[in-house]
Chains A and B, each alone.
Chain A
């Protein structure tokens, strides 16, 4: 027996570095990285288009007017009364349009007028100023009942002769506004986190599939721990994402300076912007690593791209549900739902980032990060074990057991071994 040679295999960390360095370089100079950089443009464009369409819809619906179908004198009185009250009530009053100068006592079919597609009449006022009848959808008449009553009173001459002047003192914010603003910040952060993790997890999955296609995995498995392959791949993609985020921020800053406006219009989170950014980066890493580990495990169990797509679909759907869970939990601070969202490994980073926007305490983040780190390690180990078991078993899963006459060459039913 010869004496043992020096030099065991690389440590997990060193081997992970070898893998991560290769993956990082390969991805950085690949076309997929260009698409990754352009990735956020698509939601921005879609968002802008959706916003434009929404604004258009809102504008068209907000132009609904109140149709007057009273006798001519009453119609005129109502329009004059509206003009007199408009300075006091402002936007609360709808525009008035004369639909019909009705004969006194004559019937006017308001429902038919409302069903007509002409004009933008939201409701019709019939009767008289003393006894007005408002016809329209329940939401519309509920909204306009008060203003119409005031205008009718003014037209009938029974309104107060004078309205006191209200002195105005504006403040920058209120507790209610602040709370609402932080929810908006938390929502924005969660959405960004979700989009980023999904984008990256998808990329890490395609990377693994490519690796299996290259058939290099056995060389890796023979030389280094499989945990290192997983770690290397995950951290390479994490590093890539940081490069991408850096590029996006630079581009945003450049765009901001060009148009001369600040893009950051979100309310300040409870922990302050610097800490929020720091926590955002850590929670992003955590969310990505947990999800990436699951995607890698899924990738290891699949042998074709189609299989990968089929297997990853439930994970993607689950992540979408998790996102909704975290979003809902954010609106229920201190509830059992929030506690569950914080403990559940997949939603924990999302829920905690939302908490950072709403609550200034830092100790829950320390606890959550320890828990999330534990989950990341656990998921990577399970994934690596499954991967090794799955990949290093060659040959078809089942072999025919049919027996024939003996004739060489013969193989055993154990032939899956080779």
Chain B
């Protein structure tokens, strides 16, 4: 397979470091019973990166991850995972936490971790030893000998997470890892993901909560309608939409309003709109000359959430226009 590192980011950002890719997928397609779940997805995940797969519910995130992991095979397209054309050939180097959490209720916590490790080739005795250490390191030492059914949902989720890591994988895939966790445990998980990446592990996670991706990810892929309308660094995604202006005025009416763009949104004396392409100076001049009575004015760079809404919304609207979509209830 010929690698084209130059086009691995649709945003065209030159920050492509030339780092080796943990995952390289091209044209992945998956159909179920006549409908196309994933429709030609391209992904390039640099090794050691924290990579977010973002998308609204039902966008095709889980199906994409399952194809990358070899749980299901794509109908079309190719993928290379940790240098192997077949994900199963590098199964020992992969950790996977599915969206649907599950453990055997009668197993003890450290046994559960060892069992997940054993599935990835880690000897059971070593898995038990590491399981106890991992639980201890993550503040769950007292739960090591308790059965899963005796743990809280959050603790059981953490145990499963540790099972994903017990065989020290080089690539970790989390499907919606933050769902079901309280704010404290979400913070802990974010810390763990950062530590994994710092140790050279590639982390891919899917989420529909953009804040996590914004805080953690080096790069993201936005999936909507089974396609990837954007893939690249977070900054590039944010630059997709113009900076946002927040203006406070004494006056609520006047000719100065002609200087505001069409996407303006009013909340009392506050006005929100995208910074016009002409820049801030012509805007300020018009406001002052029009007696707007400027109380305050701030210009903020667009967040990933705004970028996500814009990009995914465009893609979904396009899908709808093609007769392939429907809006959420």
Contact = CB atoms under 8 A, between A and B. Distances in A.
Interface of A: 1-10, 15, 18, 21-22, 26, 29-30, 214-224, 388, 392-395, 397, 399-418
B118 A410 contact: no
A22 B104 contact: yes
Contacts of B89: 4, 8-9
Given A5-B170, A418-B58, A218 B35 contact: no
Contacts of B56: 409-411
Contacts of B96: 219, 222-223
Interface in B32-75: 32-33, 35-39, 47, 55-63, 66, 69-72
Given A7-B93, A215-B102, A410-B325, A397 B33 contact: yes
| Chain A to chain B: the 6 pairs with minimum beta-carbon distance, closest first | A415-B58, A417-B37, A7-B92, A215-B102, A410-B316, A9-B91
20 contacts: A1-B83, A7-B93, A7-B121, A214-B105, A215-B98, A219-B119, A222-B69, A402-B326, A403-B320, A403-B326, A404-B327, A409-B56, A409-B316, A410-B56, A412-B326, A414-B60, A417-B32, A417-B60, A417-B62, A418-B63
A408 B70 CA distance: 32
B33 A400 contact: no
A9 B57 contact: no
A399 B327 CA distance: 11
A16 to B, nearest CB: 12
Contacts of B47: 2
B243 to A, nearest CB: 21
Contacts of A397: 33
Given A1-B3, A5-B82, A223-B119, A418 B326 contact: no
B72 A392 contact: yes
Interface stretch (B20-28, B231-239, B267-275): B20-28
B218 to A, nearest CB: 17
Contacts of A224: 91, 119
Interface of B: 3, 20-22, 24, 30, 32-33, 35-39, 47, 55-63, 66, 69-72, 80, 82-84, 88-94, 96, 98, 100-107, 115-116, 118-121, 124, 170, 224-226, 309, 312-313, 316-317, 319-320, 324-328
B225 A218 contact: no
B55 to A, nearest CB: 7
Given A10-B121, A410-B316, A414-B36, A1 B309 contact: no
Given A412-B225, A414-B226, A416-B35, A400 B326 contact: yes
Contacts of A221: 71
A207 B7 CA distance: 49
A7 B325 contact: no
Nearest to B173: A222
A281 B172 CA distance: 45
Contact of A4 (B61, B83, B105): B83
A401 B60 CA distance: 17
Given A4-B84, A412-B325, A414-B226, 6 more contacts: A2-B21, A402-B326, A403-B320, A410-B224, A411-B225, A413-B324
B1 to A, nearest CB: 8
Contacts of A220: 119
A222 B102 CA distance: 13
A406 B320 CA distance: 8
A30 B47 CA distance: 44
A223 B327 contact: no
A411 B327 contact: yes
A388 to B, nearest CB: 8
Contacts of A408: 309, 312-313, 316-317, 327
B84 A30 contact: no
A216 B71 contact: no
Q: Which of A1, A407, A416, A418 has the most CB of B within 10 A?
A: A418
Contacts of A214: 102-105
B327 A409 contact: yes
A77 to B, nearest CB: 82
Contacts of A18: 115, 118-119
A223 B88 CA distance: 8
Contacts of A223: 91, 96, 116, 119-120
Contacts of B317: 406, 408, 410
Contact of A8 (B59, B66, B90): B90
B171 to A, nearest CB: 9
A416 B266 CA distance: 38
A8 B116 contact: no
A415 B107 CA distance: 35
A392 to B, nearest CB: 5
Contact of B90 (A4, A218, A404): A4
A318 B143 CA distance: 47
Contacts of B63: 394, 417-418
A418 B316 contact: no
B116 A417 contact: no
A216 B102 contact: yes
A3 to B, nearest CB: 5
Contacts of A21: 124
A10 B121 CA distance: 6
B225 A414 contact: yes
A414 B107 CA distance: 37
A249 to B, nearest CB: 28
B98 A222 contact: yes
Contact of A218 (B83, B100, B170): B100
Nearest to B70: A222
B83 A5 contact: yes
Given A18-B119, A214-B104, A5 B93 contact: yes
A402 B329 CA distance: 11
A333 to B, nearest CB: 49
A226 B239 CA distance: 45
Nearest to A9: B91
Given A8-B92, A417-B226, A26 B22 contact: no
Nearest to B101: A215
A406 B60 contact: no
Q: Which of A221, A409, A414 has the most CB of B within 10 A?
A: A414
A9 B92 contact: yes
Given A400-B326, A411-B327, A417-B38, A218 B319 contact: no
